[in-house]
Every structure is written in structure tokens, then in C-alpha cells.
Structure 1
Amino acid sequence: MSSKWLSLEEALSNVLNAADVVTDIEPISLFEANNRILAEDVVAHLDVPPWDNSAMDGFAVNADEVNTNMPLTIQGTITAGMEADTPLNKASAIKIMTGAPLPAGANAVVMIENTDINNDKVIINKRPSEGENIRRQANDIAKGDVLIEKGTRLKAEHLMLLSSQGLNTVNVYRKLRVGIVATGSELAAPGSTRLSTQIFESNRVGISSILQEENTDIIDFGIVEDNEASLRALFLEASKKVDVMVSSGGVSVGDADYVKDIICELGTIDFWKVAIKPGKPFALGKINQTLFCGLPGNPVSSFVTAKLLVVPAIRKMQGQIAAFKPLYVNATLTQDVRNRGGRRDFQRATMVQTQNGDWEVTPFKTQSSGVMTSITSANCFLVVDENSASLPKGAIVPVMPFSL
């Protein structure tokens, strides 16, 4: 168990090293696959397009035989879904619709706008070049191409591509089962009667919401008082039910902070002071195969550490490739910012886009980790480096959006 200060990068590296990929795979419908993690490479078994086809409504012609203002006989019509079973005759043109297969003998399509039609004749007003307005077979996808890599988080664009290959199911990693619990005798459950010495607990719903965005199945273990026996029994139960257990509270150095000791007794644990503000204490351990993440009890600190350390662990365990490090954008600071230094400061702020497309960021005046409204009204973290004592108005600074 270590109590030395770790940089965010060191802490994140340790978290990812401890996070093992859950290898269970399940086939699901494409209609249920949004936001799931692909468990294997998907290889194309069809060319796309499957044949040479027209990119425009117009006339299929042999460009070598066409002269401007020369009338051609309209041989017939091919629409999308029809077979092009009749080859193009000499001095002829076949009316063709977008997506329809190109007939044998044709090597160009003349846009309808560049023609004049007179009964069964068509006059070409602009001579085409060979290949004009034709989409060649396999121009988009060739049979055997890797369409989507294992570990990709599936979105609409991926699912459309899979569907275009005739697939209606896909193999994905199963959802992670994540348990959440809040510890502390001072906590009352929302909806219950609160004692005068208690506050209503808010971390569980916040952590749950953050992790549900990662498409996990959440199991709520409720609130546990500062009691060693109760915590020990709960952690043993959780180790049999979930892949990840996230607790808030009980990881500091108070007399009633039991989480670290119990995890150490039942399994393995490392405890760090992470050089970030807010969110200094963080515990990481395992009981059997269950990963335990111990977050601070302070709501703002819990929110920050869940975003910075727990979410990357979840993504790694789901089998997702990359997307472990925070995503930053640059923004212009609208006011001076002072910082004590020593810890990287994730200040709650609002970012807005200007008319010219640039971003501006304004931090809240009150940055106390006990002020929950600083999260409610914010949409990003303004990241102040641990080596920066102050930042002037107009400085270009890194900003971490809550979502994009």
C-alpha cells in the first residue's frame, strides 16, 4: 500500500494495468448494438458496390462512339433493382437511374441535364469521358477488407456498414456489471427521513449516471454505515456479483474510514494520493476477480475521479481500443485564474463557441470541492497545470468537456 503522490498519468497507467478485459462474448441484433464494444474484426464478404453502377440519373453510353449533337436511339430503361441483361447496341443509349447496374458495352453515363430527348432519340450535348458518372465495383469496399476493428465502440455509422453487408447480428463483449455503494453513517438515502446529523447521499446516482453512459449494468448496493462487519460482508457479496465495485467515502485517513483496510484484508489494494484537485485520495484493489475503486466521499471529488480514473478502467475492461485518456480541446480564457500549484486543478467551468468557431472558457468563481452547483452549472473542466501559478485572461488553455 503506497501513500506517495502520483501524477494523474501514473495513476491512470496503474488503473489500466489492473483492469483486465472481460472476454465473454455474445451475439446481438444490430438494433441493440449501439454503443457496444465489438469483440472481433468484421471482414467484408461482399464487394460494395457489388457491380459497376450509375452515379447519376442519365443515359448509359459508349463514350468512344458518342459525338456532340449526334442522336442516339433510346434502347430501353434500367432502374435500381433491375438486372442489366441486355448489352448496349451501337449508336444507342440506355436510360439509367442512380444505383442501377451498368449494361455491358457502356462505359460512361451522361447526366440527364446534358441531354435533349425527342421521342425515341436522345441528343448528347456534352461528350462524356470514359468512366464518367460510374461507380466501379468494390470502389468502396472490397471483399476481404477489414471493415471494423475489434474493440470499436459501435455507433450508427458502423451499424449501417454492417447492415450493408447483409449482417443482422454482431458479436460484442458482454456488458460489465458494476456495483456502486456509498459509505458513511452521516448519509441518509434520498426519500428517507433524515436525522439532524445527516446529509442526503448524492454520489451513487452521479456515479451511476456517469457509468451508464459507458453502457454498463449498474447494481446499487445502497448506503452502508461506517461499520467494519457490514462493509466486509458487502464487499464479499459484491466480489461474487460484479466485475467492478465503486465505493465513495471511507478512503481517507479518518478513524471510521475502513474501506482500504477491508479490501486489503480480503484481497489486494493500493492507495494513492493523486496529485489532482479535487479528488486526492483514491484506492484501487481486487477481491477475487472484482476490481474495486475507492473514491473520495466529497461529491465533487467523487465526480472528478470517476471521470478521470474509473471511466478509463471501464473502457479497458469492456475491450475498447484507445479512448482511455481524457479528450482536451483548446479554449481562450475569459478571465485571470490563480492557482496554488502542486496539483493539477480541474476547475469547473463553462465553455461556449464563438461566432468564428473558436472556444472560450470561463471558470466559476467558487471552486470549493464542497460546492455541488459548480458541477451542475458547468459543462467542462478547465485544466490548470500543477506547475502553473496563474493564467492570464486571453491565454489558450486545455479544456476537458464533460461530453461532446
Structure 2
Amino acid sequence: MSMGCSDRPGLMPLADGLAHLLERLVPLSGAGSVALADSVGRITAASIRAEAPVPAWDNSAMDGYALRRADLLADKPLPIQGRSLAGQPYTEPLKPGYCVRVMTGAVLPAGCDAVVMQEEAEVSDRGVTFEKVPEQGNNIRRAGEDCRAGDRLLPEGHCIRPQDVALLASVGCAEVSVRPRLKVGLLATGDELRQPDETLGVGDLYDSNRPALHALLARLGVQVNDYGVVADDPDALRQVLQQADTECDLVITSGGVSVGEADYTRQVLGELGDIEIWKLAIKPGKPLAFGRLSNSWFIGLPGNPVSSLVTFHLVATRAIRQLQGQPDKALPSLRATTTEAIRKTPGRMDFQRGVWRQTETGVEVRPTRAQQASHILGSLTEANCYIALEQDRGSVAAGETVTLWLFDALFSS
């Protein structure tokens, strides 16, 4: 067993742990094509460029009349030469002294330099009279205004969103080259864990970590292989981890990485592979393991529910994005003034759950009303940010300035 970084005295700072993790992880290789309709949530394997301009032709932004501005200077009605509809273009060039009736999205005839909306025009037997001379290019959507042929639409490593599908469809893209879907194995350990439909015995707990982690993984667009709850038995755990290692790219465990007598996850992970990180200098979530198995990477999360979710958010999420070939992305941050005192002991970076708001005088934050203990899930459900207190910092008085790490879409609705 190689303990690597965990042999070092003391705890590893979060920044050092993340730097090591991101340096070690290499994105999955390979690519495959999926239909555009099935591409949401997938990661682009290469940048995507437009093969044609959008719009493909100059077209009208309004229902109205296409004309030459110069023809209005004579202050005479303009007879209607023809009609252009979306999907039914008028193909003749505009003759001097005439106008063309156009609908929104209709191709504009050659020779026109403005469109006047129908509300600013009056039709009579003599033709169309206009209230004023429009500006050059008025109400015209130019060809290539959205994108030109050759423009990069999406970069490599981009997670495709519904609005991206619209953009790709607009250039006629029917299939997208994407990276392989990351396969993540998920399991929890603990003899005390029960499922929601089971009756609790004395000392039992409902398994809240695995359902929450499964939901977070689903939001990240990975394929989840759920191996359920494994008993506190080294042989059983070894068997499941060996199976997960052959079937997955990343294995995430919850529980069993602390130093209790029945915490076997760290022991078995060390037997099957190399543990490169163990114990980060953060609160909640000190016992966190990262390393390599024969076929896959693993991340061992703490068992306490808040610790498990926070370390997933801060560490595992960035590992997953790295393996998917996405750019690394830290949580957005803000500086804020605390409205209440915050208790803290120097030694670990503390991610207290907070509620921030914008006021007329700046950004304010307070700790959640729920306790900050690592088993109080209410501190996460109430919060919209972490109050990220530096490793060497002590308690904070009301009115002091702190740094916030804001919840991203993964933790928001």
C-alpha cells in the first residue's frame, strides 16, 4: 500500500489537495456521435464550428414593407411590387420607386435598404404612404448576424445545454461529437444504514448520503452504477470495490474513511490501490481519500451527511469535470460583511453554511439558523453559500469581512 501524500505530517490544505488531484486526473479518451436531440448534458469532444451563416439571408425583423430609402424622398406613394413571406420568398430585385410587402423572417429582395413596420405605413389605391424616412438598415436582419460560416459555436469540453441545442440546430447540425459518458460507481458503507421503506432499529439511520450523491451525479451527466450499501465487513467491501473497479472510471464511496474500528474503506482501498490523499485541512470533511485502483480512480467521502455533500461539492465535482474533459471551474466568490459572530478554531479551512443577500450598502451574510455540525442537513438546505474561513483564521466578530463561495447550479434549483 502506498500512502503518498497522506504520509506527510499534519493535514493537507484544500488548495494543495485539489492541485494534486487535477494534476493526476486525465480526461477520458475517445469520442462518439450522438443525435442532437440526445446531446444535452454531454461533453463536446471537439470544438463545433458553423458550416453556414445564420441567418443564411438578409430577412425582415418586422411585418411591413421593404424599400429603398431614397425612393421616399419624392414624397409619393410607393406601389407594391410583390409579397415575400417566410418560406415563400419574393425572388425579383426591387425596382426603383416600388416597395415589397414582407412578413417577419421573410427573405428581402435585392436592392432594398430598410424595412418599415406596417404600423407606420398607410395603404391606398395609389400605393403605400410612409410616415417618415427610416434609418439605413432599419428592421433588417443581416445574413451572418448570429454567426458566420467558420465561427466557433461551442468549445471543446463544453457541457451542452438546451440553448446550445437551438444554436446547433440553427446551423443544420444533426449530430454532435461527444466524449464518452463517465461511468461512476457509487456505494455507501455502514451496518447502521437502512432504506426509507425499512423500519429503524435502535442505533440505525436512514441512508441519506447515497440518494443525494446519486442526484448530484445525475446533474453532472455521468452514468451512475449504484452498488448500494455495503456492510462493515472487509471481505464484502473488497468484493464490491473490485467489481466497481472493473466496471467504472471513478468509484465514489461514502463512509468508512475515518479511523474508527469499523471504518474499513480506507484499509481496503489501500490494499487494492494507492491512496494519494487522506485527510484534508477542511471542516467539515477532514477524512477524504483519493487515489488509484487497478482500472479506476476513487474518492472516499466522509460518512457524516453534511461532510459527504460538502466534500463532493468542493472536491469530487472538480474531479469529475476533469475526467470529462471540462475546464476546471471553482465556485464563484464574493466578499461580504457578517451580521453575526462566527465561532472558529484555527487549523482547518472552515466552510460554514451561510445565507447571503445584497443590500443597499453591500453584501451581507449570516450563518444558517440550523447548527453547523456535520450531521445537521438543515444547514445545507437553508444555505445559499459557504462562508469560507481561512485555515489560520480564528473566530469572526460581527461586522468583519469574509469570503463567500456561492452555491452553483449543482446545489441550486
What is the TM-score with the length of structure 2 in the denominator? 0.89
Name which of 358, 366, 373 aligns with 1:362.
Answer: 366
Deviations 1:187-237 (A, max 9, x none): 344433544343333221122122221122222212222222222211111
Deviations 1:154-178 (A, max 9, x none): 1122110011112233222232221
For residues 372 and 93 of structure 1, do their structure 2 counterparts lie closer, same or farther at Cα, with a shift above 3 Å needed?
closer
Shift of 1:239: 0.6
Residues 208-357 of structure 1 aligned to structure 2 (within 5 Å): 208-323=214-329, 325-352=330-357
Q: Is the 8 A contact 1:331 1:361 kept in 2?
A: yes
- Letter of the 1:167 partner, please give it: C
Shift of 1:246: 0.8
Shift of 1:284: 0.8
Q: Is the 8 A contact 2:66 2:101 kept in 1?
A: yes
For residues 268 and 188 of structure 1, do their structure 2 counterparts lie closer, same or farther at Cα, with a shift above 3 Å needed?
same
- Letter of the 1:35 partner, please give it: G
For residues 364 and 60 of structure 1, do their structure 2 counterparts lie closer, same or farther at Cα, with a shift above 3 Å needed?
closer
SS in 1 for 2:18: helix
Shift of 1:298: 1.5
Q: 1:145 maps to which residue?
A: 151
Structure in which a larger fraction of residues adopt strand: 1
For residues 90 and 198 of structure 1, do their structure 2 counterparts lie closer, same or farther at Cα, with a shift above 3 Å needed?
closer
For residues 36 and 359 of structure 1, do their structure 2 counterparts lie closer, same or farther at Cα, with a shift above 3 Å needed?
farther
- Letter of the 1:164 partner, please give it: S
Instruction: Name the % identity.
Output: 39
C-alpha separation in 2, matches of 1:145 and 1:392: 52
For residues 386 and 313 of structure 1, do their structure 2 counterparts lie closer, same or farther at Cα, with a shift above 3 Å needed?
same
Q: 1:388 maps to which residue?
A: 393
Shift of 1:136: 1.9
- The answer to whether residue 142 in structure 2 is matched with residue 136 in structure 1 is yes
Q: Is the 8 A contact 2:17 2:277 kept in 1?
A: no
For residues 357 and 231 of structure 1, do their structure 2 counterparts lie closer, same or farther at Cα, with a shift above 3 Å needed?
farther
Shift of 1:380: 2.9
Q: 2:32 maps to which residue?
A: 26
Q: Is the 8 A contact 1:68 1:125 kept in 2?
A: no
Structure 2 unaligned residues grouped into runs of 5+: none
C-alpha separation in 2, matches of 1:13 and 1:227: 33
SS in 1 for 2:279: strand
C-alpha separation in 2, matches of 1:202 and 1:129: 63
For residues 212 and 48 of structure 1, do their structure 2 counterparts lie closer, same or farther at Cα, with a shift above 3 Å needed?
same
- Letter of the 1:97 partner, please give it: M
- Letter of the 2:237 partner, please give it: L
C-alpha separation in 1, matches of 2:110 and 2:207: 73
Deviations 1:112-168 (A, max 9, x none): 333332124112331234333222221221111111111111112211001111223
Residues 161-180 of structure 1 aligned to structure 2 (within 5 Å): 161-180=167-186
C-alpha separation in 2, matches of 1:151 and 1:218: 20
Q: Is the 8 A contact 2:318 2:328 kept in 1?
A: no
Query: Which piece of structure 1 moves more, 274-283 or 13-22?
Result: 13-22
C-alpha separation in 2, matches of 1:34 and 1:394: 44
RMSD: 2.3
Q: 2:94 maps to which residue?
A: 88
C-alpha separation in 1, matches of 2:75 and 2:294: 82
- The answer to whether residue 118 in structure 2 is matched with residue 112 in structure 1 is yes
Query: How many pairs does the alignment contain?
Result: 402
Query: Which piece of structure 1 moves more, 276-285 or 2-11?
Result: 2-11
Shift of 1:107: 2.0
Shift of 1:400: 2.3
- Letter of the 1:48 partner, please give it: V
Shift of 1:369: 1.4
- Letter of the 1:340 partner, please give it: T
- Letter of the 1:363 partner, please give it: P
C-alpha separation in 1, matches of 2:368 and 2:133: 65
Name which of 40, 55, 59 aligns with 2:46.
Answer: 40
Query: Which piece of structure 1 moves more, 275-284 or 201-210?
Result: 201-210
For residues 103 and 244 of structure 1, do their structure 2 counterparts lie closer, same or farther at Cα, with a shift above 3 Å needed?
same
Deviations 1:26-59 (A, max 9, x none): 3223332222211221111111111122222222
C-alpha separation in 2, matches of 1:403 and 1:343: 26
What is the TM-score with the length of structure 1 in the denominator? 0.91
SS in 1 for 2:235: helix
- Letter of the 2:149 partner, please give it: K
Q: 2:189 maps to which residue?
A: 183
C-alpha separation in 2, matches of 1:318 and 1:328: 24
C-alpha separation in 2, matches of 1:83 and 1:187: 67
Q: Is the 8 A contact 1:68 1:127 kept in 2?
A: no
Q: 1:202 maps to which residue?
A: 208
Q: Is the 8 A contact 1:68 1:124 kept in 2?
A: no
Q: 2:412 maps to which residue?
A: 403
Query: Which piece of structure 1 moves more, 71-80 or 110-119?
Result: 110-119
Name which of 360, 373, 376 aligns with 2:378.
Answer: 373
- Letter of the 1:27 partner, please give it: S
Q: Is the 8 A contact 1:383 1:400 kept in 2?
A: no
Query: Which piece of structure 1 moves more, 280-289 or 60-69?
Result: 60-69
Shift of 1:330: 4.4
Q: 2:57 maps to which residue?
A: 51
